Structure 1
Amino acid sequence: MITKTIYFEDYQVGFSRETFGRTITESDILTHAGQTSDFYPHHMDKEWCATQPFKRRIAHGTLIFSVAVGMTAGDINPVAMSYGYDRLRFIRPVHIGDTIYTKATITEKRDHKRPSHGIAVEKLEVTNQNKETVMVCEHIYLVERKQPLEA
């Protein structure tokens, strides 16, 4: 990983980046189920799923969220930290063998109560191999300013 300092003033609304793909495997689903104790049949029971409208096992939404966010982690910015996530939606199911991609776009910048920091909002759009949206959310960053605002 590379350390790259990007201050609040350096963030540009509209800037976007895209990740390489990541194929979701049965092992991913089994591991995530064990880590979270989410053993619902939608994720675990192949035979039961075959009787349902979706026909195949569905990856946990929290698994797709975790993988998609992790895919965007690359360079370390020592003056920014994750402040949370908003507007998380699971649009379509992800199945074993689907490949997901994440596009991250800066959509907003705003002041924070600390004059030394600002908020940058990055929209994450996760698509599958068919370019269908499977998940969206907003990643909120707390970012140090080069010059604090005057109180």
Structure 2
Amino acid sequence: MTDEMFFEDYAVGTARETTGRTITEADVVLHAGQTGDFYPHHMDAEWCKTQPFGARMAHGTLVFSVGVGMTAGAINPHAMSYGYDRLRFVRPVFLNDTIRARVRVKDVRDDAKRPKHGIVVEALEVVNQRNETVLVAEHLLLVERREARTG
């Protein structure tokens, strides 16, 4: 599936929301194995009971990866991810929480280095089943223009 959009096609305020995805024990264990992050916050249920949060929580990087992955849908051959700014883990995500992602075009701006491209900034918000924000970030896309900017 493709969604061919040039820089000029993006409009500030355009938004979309994903369906939910429940974070499971398997997700946490697999992510720990892939990253080497076996901190007790994620792996030790008994230790977590002694902490203010009271239960095992998913890795912030897992929530980020799943949240971003849920927003990826159609392939746009004119755009690519340029990076993420202002990433914050606002609240913990616990095992069996269900998250979904919201994306809103926050800004469209010229790219000073590349006259054939522009930058689209998407505000990403991941929320849990109680509609509480658990993660925020800005996703920067490098997007091709229909015609190169002059001057």
Number of residue-to-residue matches in the alignment: 150
Name the counterpart of 2:117: 117
Map 1:15-30; keep pairs closer than 5 Å: 15-30=14-29
TM-score (structure 1 length as normaliser): 0.98
* Partner Cα distance (1:50, 1:26) in 2: 17
Task: Summarize deviations over 1:39-59 as a string: whole Å, max 9, x none.
Answer: 000000001001111110010
Map 1:44-83; keep pairs closer than 5 Å: 44-83=43-82
For residue 141 of structure 1, report the CA deviation from its aligned partner: 0.1
Name the counterpart of 2:131: 131
Query: What SS does the aligned partner of 1:125 have?
Result: strand
For residue 6 of structure 1, report the CA deviation from its aligned partner: 0.2
Name the counterpart of 1:98: 97
Percent identity over paired residues? 65
Structure 1's unaligned 5+ residue stretches are: none
Letter in 2 for 1:32: H
For residue 4 of structure 1, report the CA deviation from its aligned partner: 1.4
Runs of 4+ in 1 over 6 A off after TM superposition: none
Structure 2's unaligned 5+ residue stretches are: none
For residue 150 of structure 1, report the CA deviation from its aligned partner: 1.1
Query: What SS does the aligned partner of 2:54 have?
Result: coil
